[in-house]
């Protein structure tokens, strides 16, 4: 579902996946236009939550699109709730 990002300059998005990332993808899109804002690169740290920082939010309404087109054992992806990044 689309979510509001008004006033937010950076989102932290938790991602986890299985031992194989074949057929898996996660991207952030502009909910109004469908344009991809950022594609999240899936690394090889299987089973561990990774937090991706998404900067330069140009849209006030975004949507997370996670696709699971894997057909082999261990091909899965999980996405947690996005949060505002903490300042350093």
Residue 88 clears pLDDT 70, i.e. is over it: no
DSSP states of 20-71 = B-TTEEEEEEETTT--EEEEEPP-S-TTS-EEEEEE----SEEEEEEEE---
pTM equals: 0.84
Residue 57: pLDDT band (50, 70, 90) is confident
pLDDT digits (tens, 9 = 90+) for 39-54: 998 876 777 899 989 8
Name the 3-class secondary structure at 13: strand
pLDDT averaged over every residue in the chain: 88
Q: Among all chains, which residue has been given the structure tokens 């074949």? A: 22
């Amino acid at each position: 579902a689309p979510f509001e990002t008004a006033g937010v300059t950076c989102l932290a998005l938790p991602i986890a996946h299985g031992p194989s990332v074949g057929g898996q993808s996660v991207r952030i899109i502009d909910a109004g236009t469908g344009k991809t804002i950022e594609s999240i690169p899936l690394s090889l740290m299987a089973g561990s939550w990774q937090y991706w920082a998404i900067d330069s939010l140009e849209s006030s309404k975004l949507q997370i699109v996670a696709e699971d087109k894997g057909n082999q054992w261990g091909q899965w992806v999980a996405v947690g709730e996005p949060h505002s990044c903490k300042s350093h």
